[in-house]
A and B are shown apart, each in its own frame.
Chain A
Amino acid sequence: MPLLYADLACRDAVELATDYLEGALSWRQRRSYEHHLRGCPNCRAHFEQIRAMVAALGKVEPEALSPAAQEDLMDVFRRYRDAQGHDGAQEPPAG
């Protein structure tokens, strides 16, 4: 049985982590990759580290906008609202 998996080298295994996580490997490739990971602590560490990147990126908070940029965009929104004929929270100017 091991012969079936023997051809996967670490150099090639590390290329498969995302394909594996995306479910894009064939049954045979998946088995081969999983088998390699079981026997190779370095590739297992590599895989876990890729997964840790995904987890960390999911926690990146949006960066705050400068007040000036925020105000510019609110102007864009007010122009949209005015063009739509909405009066929003405040009374529109007379005329």
Chain B
Amino acid sequence: MDDTQLIARLRSGDEQAFADLVAANHAAMVRVARAFVPARGLAEEVVQETWVGMLRGLDRFEGRSSLKTWLYAILVNQARSIASRERRTVPFDHTDDARAEDPARFAPDGSWAQPPVPFTEEVEERLVAAPMLAHLTAALDELPPAQRVVVTLRDIEQLTSDEVCAMLQITPGNQRVLLHRGRAGLRRSIEALLEGED
């Protein structure tokens, strides 16, 4: 079902259309919200308010962006407003010069001292199966908030770089740094898991 059909069904009061939309998006929205407000209850509140906001705006929605992009834009606004009510801010600029990989893994000449643990074919297969995916989402929740948001929006929700930059009001370069650090952090968590199995 495309956005136009979905919106028509929502506007006509179709409960199943709303239930499906919620089932497909709610958990990822909570994950994004928790980056702004870590308390689970507050994050749920943000997402609940997002659904209310979406329904309120539905009749005015003109489809200039995808429904998902619009939904996340509402979410980020709600999350920012509740975060500021709680006097919290999430830094989305990386002013530090930290690197995606630990400098200690490299020799003084910049070559690998502790190279990546190889992913065998068996590991590659396990990566896309349920237990490893559960490990991956748990590791995602452990990432610094800004990285978690960007990885969730880009790699799980498959939004574009432009959409994410507009939503979070960050530059493309900043977005790529956060995305790369997040992905690298997840890579290390899988590496650590494999090392623990030896």
Contacts and interface: CB of A to CB of B under 8 A. Distances in A.
A81 interface: yes
A57 B118 contact: no
Interface string A5-17: 0000111101101
Interface string B161-198: 10000000000110010011001101100110000000
Contacts of B176: 18-19, 22, 24
Contact of B55 (A17, A42, A77): A77
Interface string B92-113: 0000000111010010011110
Contacts of B112: 10, 42-43
Tell me if A's interface is mostly helix, strand, loop or mixed: helix
A76 B151 CA distance: 29
B15 interface: yes
Given A18-B180, A81-B13, A46 B25 contact: no
A interface bracket (residues with beta carbon within 8 Å of B):
35 or more
A15 B98 CA distance: 11
Interface in A31-60: 42-43, 45-46, 48-50, 52-60
Contacts of B24: 62
A73 B48 contact: yes
Nearest to B134: A60
A62 B28 contact: yes
A4 interface: no
Contact of A54 (B59, B119, B172, B183): B183
Given A10-B110, A10-B112, A49-B119, A18 B13 contact: no
B23 A62 contact: yes
Contact of B19 (A9, A63, A74): A74
Interface of A: 9-12, 14-15, 17-19, 22, 24, 42-43, 45-46, 48-50, 52-65, 69-70, 72-74, 76-78, 80-81, 84, 86-89
9 contacts: A42-B112, A53-B155, A55-B128, A56-B127, A63-B137, A65-B26, A70-B19, A86-B12, A88-B14
Given A77-B15, A80-B58, 8 more contacts: A50-B180, A52-B119, A53-B183, A56-B128, A70-B19, A73-B26, A76-B51, A81-B15
